[in-house]
Amino acid sequence: MGIKIVSAGKALPSYSMSNEQMSAFLDTDDEWIYSRTGIKSRYICREETCVSLACRAADRALQNAGVKPEDIGAVIVATTTNDYAFPSVACMIQADLGLPEETVAFDISAACSGFIFALGTAYGYLKNNDLKYALVVGAEKLSRILDHTDRSTCVLFGDGAGAVVISKDDHKHVHKSWSRGNREALNCKGIGTDGARLNMNGRDVFRFATSALRQAIDETLKADGEDISLIDAIVCHQANARIIENVMKKYPGMESRFFINIEQYGNTSSASIPIAIEEMMQSKRITAGMKLLCVGFGAGLTWSGLIVRT
């Protein structure tokens, strides 16, 4: 048994901040940011919360699927920026969307790899329980943990949420994951600490990401027993356009199957892959019957690849 993406939805803050606007309070400009990252703008929460974005994205995914709330058996949310230490974002979605009380609902924390881990976890619930559908969400309000005086980090990230409704599928399930146990390259202090802000060594993360993405692609395909030419779309975590472009060069002839949309969103962490999937579905770049390879990497350090159908 594998899993199938039935539908997707996304939610974004109403306010978008351009590179030019950031140059008003940072020693930077559009050319400096775009040449290094591929980012032109990002969405920033003003009134919105992580929970409100997650609920909107989840509701949109349900509407697009035509699935009733009572048919959802599990809600799993990937996030590192919940508005609360507890309760979980997933519990708030369960209440806001009117899902049954017997719905399995919890969050997981795996930073930018989180959405793929959440998909893998949801697979287990669908396989081992009599559940028809699961709702998998990636939601982040990263602006609340950024140092807005640090141009090396705050220009990279944006807020947003993406969600998918998944069901069982009769194809093979393939999911590969790795963890390195590194706290130096990318971290943020936790509850009760002073100055809980995102810290990143950009050079170390870039080097790690390019090798990790390629490993995730190659070893996930190896586990699937298929060639990359049989993959219809490769959906990478959108951390930096230059990282994806670097990896694309390793697969000649497959460049058009990689997707990049970071220009208008920035790095939305666990939300980036479901936001990309929603956008690809809306533009018909993803249609029914396709085979997708989702790959991501993030703090931990973690990286992962998963094959899913549509």
Yes or no: say if 13 and 44 are a contact pair by the CB < 8 Å rule: yes
To 5 degrees, how large is the angle CA 121–CA 123–CA 128? 105
Residue 8: beta bridge partners?
164
> What tokens were used for 122?
């949801």
Nearest to 304 by CA among 125, 153, 118, 128: 118
Rounded (10°) angle between helices 50-65 and 89-96: 50
Beta bridge partners of 292: 233, 308
Output the CA torsion sign for 179, 185, 188, 189.
positive
Q: Among residues 158, 153, 146, which one has the least CA distance to residue 17?
A: 158
Of 132, 135, 138, the C-alpha closest to 109 is 138
Q: What does the longest C-alpha to C-alpha distance in the chain come to?
A: 55
Would you call 56 helix, strand, or coil by DSSP?
helix
Cα torsion through 84, 77, 38, 216, rounded to 10: 130
36 — alpha (psi -120 to 50), left (phi > 0) or beta?
A: alpha
Q: How far apart are CA 295 and CA 266, in angstroms?
A: 17
Active site residues: 112, 237, 267
- 154: tokens are 């705050």
3-class state of residue 8 by DSSP = strand
